[in-house]
Amino acid sequence: MKRKVKLTGDCFDSAFNMFMADTSGRMVLVHGLPTGRGGQAATVGTYPHAWIEFPDTNQVYDTVADVTIDKDRYYLLGNIQFTKRYDRDAVMRMLAKYGRDTIVWSRILKQRAKKISKMRI
């Protein structure tokens, strides 16, 4: 029986919930791999994370940190190399394909989460 990878933290749920509650159509749901800088995050290197982007203002809202920041600065601080962006149509396609049980859709993020789950931290 395959073991389902569990991502720690609530960034995927909180970003997804904020995105789904939005009626403005201005938000983009983003999944990516920032590089950890402190504590356990520094030990694992890159880790799966989710946030909201506002393309019209070039801003990012991180639902876990509860901070809005310039997108370029956010990417620089997080040393973010990989992202997958989902607009409303893409999110609806992913929900139709995978259901609500998993909201981490990228194979790359799932593989990274699996590697992290095997680490002894």
Q: Which amino acid is at 65?
A: A
**Cα–Cα dist 49/34, whole Å:** 7
- pLDDT at position 31 is 96
Residue 22 lies in a domain: yes
Token readout for 17 is 């919930």
pLDDT digits (tens, 9 = 90+) for 28-73: 999 999 998 877 777 888 999 999 999 999 999 999 999 999 999 9
Residue 20 lies in a domain: yes
Specify the residue for token string 């593989």: 111
Residue 1 lies in a domain: no
User: Is the pTM here over 0.75, yes or no?
Assistant: yes
How many structural domains are present in the chain? 1
Q: Which domain holds residue 59?
A: 11-114
